[in-house]
Amino acid sequence: MLMPDKYNPEEPLVMHVDLNSAFASTEQQARPLLRGRPVAVVNRRVKNTCIVTASYEAKALGVKVGMKLLEAERLVPGLVAIESDPAKYRYVYRKLMAILNSYSPHVVMKSIDEGVMDFHHLPAGRSLIDIGYEVKQRLRDEVGSAMRCNVGIGTNRFLAKTAAGLHKPDGLDVMAADNLRDTYATMKLTDLTGIAEHLQRRLNGVGIYTPLQFLDADVVTLEKVVFKGIVGRQWFERLRGYEVDDRPIVTKRVGRQYVLENRNLSRVEIASRLHNLCESVGARLRGQDKAARGVYVYTRTIAGRFWHDTYMSQLPFYTDRTINSLAQNLFAGAPDDIREIGVHCYELSDNNNDQLSLFGDELAREQQLSGAIDAINQRFGERTVHSADTLATDRFLKVKIPFGSTRYL
Amino acid sequence: MNDEIFLNERIKVVAAFGEGLNPCRPVKFKRSNAREVVISEIGLVHPVGHGKRMVHVFDVTDGSADYRIELDAERLTWRLTREADHVDA
């Protein structure tokens, strides 16, 4: 049973590895003449796009992630903007994963640029600090000399990640019971992973303004007043170094969205882009051997108005044709002046092709068609075979790297 | 904003095949206009699958411009696909 005022006394055995400005560092690694220069990675070659990652040189000059490129270029005239190159980042991700897997069988990649190694249940051996420095060196040797990473070591995932953020770039820190209070004393509430402005306001509402006050808050206040549920107790334990975040990630939905390249597109042109998204969602769904029962379509207008609609089917589906047909029906009810569209499939289940159906022949034909198209696309490259009405959309709808998910890497 | 030029140019490459993590190391290449580029550093080497066909992408520099050259592992051909110049800024 957890002692309320005690911090987890065990040896820190969780290591968090976080690539520094991952996409920008990878670009600087690939293109030596960009090293030491302010670099911003963007998803599109247009001025009103947002910055996905900035190099440390750009960050030092005030460029922030999420900033409009136009604004950043005004701030830093020599800024070099580069369109993201997912293949390169996937390669670095796989290299990082291979390095981490060589130290522990318990590795979870939290996103494309960070992974967690758990050394519990492994025989005691080398110190984790030695391993941390070796990971840094191997990253430089096996990927490139410009690659740097932060390493954090803690008694749980939260402390390891917090430690990894203490000295950027290229830091290595340990957070455990003996330095917990001293470390929290140097931080702001929003420095804690999971505490954004709205949670900060809630904490401020009960007189908590610093991580130390958060640490000293009693569990009843956190559970009953601040978080109104079990999340309060989880924060109480998390801050003390007890593990509450070791949960498997379950895929609940598969989807894609797209900000239109031009705000004057006709309804038919937008529908063809939606069709392209549906094909991509279908491929991802089948790639995970899943079927869905629900389709969700949303749009955002130029004025910022949000619209969405859903459809729940009695039978599971997974073919592009069905997903597109359901999504297009929903899309017919969407308002005009659209700026962004998205489609998601939800209520996922394992795809069981063998189940008998009243519509057996038709379903079997559709399954075979999807299987044949997927096989051709896997052999000759993505979108070798696709619907004719999406022919002109590929140069706009390029697949980009999603943050926070490693499902499709 | 982005000074990269996208190309699709067949090139002649001199490469050394050795040991280690990156056994294939292009040394220099000759462009279709007969200009020779001597590689001073290989930035990143990563494979890209075009379906089942594998292309090895080499991001390299000669010290005055960055280049991307690609080795098609099936056809054993080299192409120059990108060029970017950055030394003046």
Q: Which pLDDT score, from 0 to 100, does residue A405 have?
A: 56
Q: Which residues of chain B, if any, have pLDDT below 70? A: 1-2, 86-89
* Alpha carbon distances (Å) from A128 to A134, A174, A348, B72: 10, 9, 39, 41
Enter the CATH code of domain A179-248. Answer: 1.10.150.20
B4 contacts in A (CB within 8 Å)?
A: 82
- Cα B61 to Cα A28, A31, A151, A290, B42: the distances in Å are 12, 7, 30, 44, 7
**Strand ranges in chain B using DSSP code E only, listed in sequence order:** 5-10, 12-17, 24-30, 36-38, 41-50, 53-61, 65-72, 77-85
Contact B52 A33 (CB under 8 A): no
Is the pLDDT score of A358 beyond 70?
Answer: no
Question: Given this model, what pLDDT does residue A377 score?
Answer: 86
**Tokens representing A167?**
């000295």
Within a 10 A sphere around the Cβ of A363, how many other Cβ atoms? Answer: 18
Domain boundaries, chain A: 12-155+162-171, 179-248, 253-393
Residue A50: pLDDT band with limits 50, 70, 90 = confident
Region at B34 (left for phi over 0; alpha for psi -120 to 50; beta for the rest)? left
- Determine the pLDDT at residue B33: 92
Return the pLDDT at A381: 80
Residues A311-316: contacts with CB under 8 Å, at least 24 apart: A312/A347, A315/A357, A316/A291, A316/A292, A316/A349, A316/A351
Q: Which two tokens stand for residue A32?
A: 């030596």
Considering CB atoms only, which of A30, A78, A381 is closest to B59?
A: A30
pLDDT at A118 over 90: yes
CB nearest A33 (choices: B47, B53, B87): B87
Q: Which CATH number fits domain A12-155+162-171: 3.40.50.300, 3.60.15.10, 3.30.365.10, 3.40.1170.60?
A: 3.40.1170.60
Most A-contacting residue of B46, B53, B87 (CB-CB within 10 A), to test interface: B46
CATH (one of 1.10.443.10, 3.40.50.300, 2.20.25.90, 3.30.1490.100) for A253-393: 3.30.1490.100
CB of A38 closer than 8 Å to CB of A61: yes
Question: Is the pTM for the entire model greater than 0.95?
Answer: no
* CA A246/CA A190 separation, integer angstroms: 22
Question: What is the C-alpha separation between A24 and A148, in angstroms, rounded?
Answer: 11
Report the distance separating Cα A220 and Cα A212, nearest Å: 17
Is residue A49 over pLDDT 90? no
Chain segment A327-339, per-residue pLDDT in tens = 999 999 999 999 9
With cut-offs at 50, 70 and 90, classify the pLDDT of residue A2: very low
Gap from B43 CA to chain A (nearest CA, Å): 4
Nearest-angstrom CA–CA distance, A331 and A308: 9
Sheet hosting strand B77-85, strand order edge to edge: B5-10, B77-85, B65-72, B53-61, B41-50
Which residues on A lie below 8 Å from B49 (Cβ)? 381
d(CA A206, CA A217) in angstroms, rounded, equals 10
Nearest to A32 among B2, B4, B43 (CB): B43
Confidence check: pLDDT of A356 > 80 = no
| DSSP-assigned beta bridge partners for residue B12 | B30
Q: What is the pLDDT of residues A170-223, one digit of tens each?
A: 899 999 999 999 999 999 999 998 898 889 999 999 899 999 999 999 899 898
Residue type for position B80: L
Could you tell me the two tokens for A83?
């369109």
Task: Tell me how many domains chain B contains.
Answer: 1
Reply yes or no on whether the pLDDT at A375 is more than 90.
no
Each residue of A217-254: pLDDT tens digit? 989 989 888 888 899 999 999 999 999 888 777 778 88
Range of the domain at B54: 5-85
Q: What are A73-85's pLDDT values in tens digits?
A: 999 988 999 988 8
What average pLDDT does range A294-306 have in this prediction? 92
Position B2: which residue type? N
Average pLDDT along chain A: 88
A62 pLDDT tier (thresholds 50, 70, 90):
very high
Residue A265 φ/ψ region, left for φ over 0, alpha for ψ in the -120 to 50 degree band, beta for the rest: beta
Partner-chain contact B46 A88, CB within 8 Å: yes
Contact, A43 vs A52, CB < 8 A? yes
Put simply, the answer to whether B44 touches A83 (Cβ < 8 Å) is no
**A·B CB contacts under 8 A:** 72
Alpha-carbon distance of A346 to A394, in angstroms, equals 25
- Cβ(A66)–Cβ(A52) below 8 Å: no
CA distances from A5 to A35, A207, A208, A217, A235 (A): 48, 19, 17, 10, 13
- Set of chain B residues whose Cβ sits within 8 Å of the Cβ of A91: 44, 46-47
Residue that is written with structure tokens 């580069």 in the block: A82
Residue B4: per-residue pLDDT? 83
Single-letter code of the amino acid located at B8: N
- Structure tokens given for A137: 């060196």
Highest mean pLDDT among A1-5, A261-265, A303-307: A303-307
pLDDT score at A188: 92
Distance (Å, whole) CA A309 – CA A148? 44
Q: How far is CA A121 from the centre of its chain?
A: 28
Cβ distance A45 to B53 less than 8 Å, yes or no, reads no
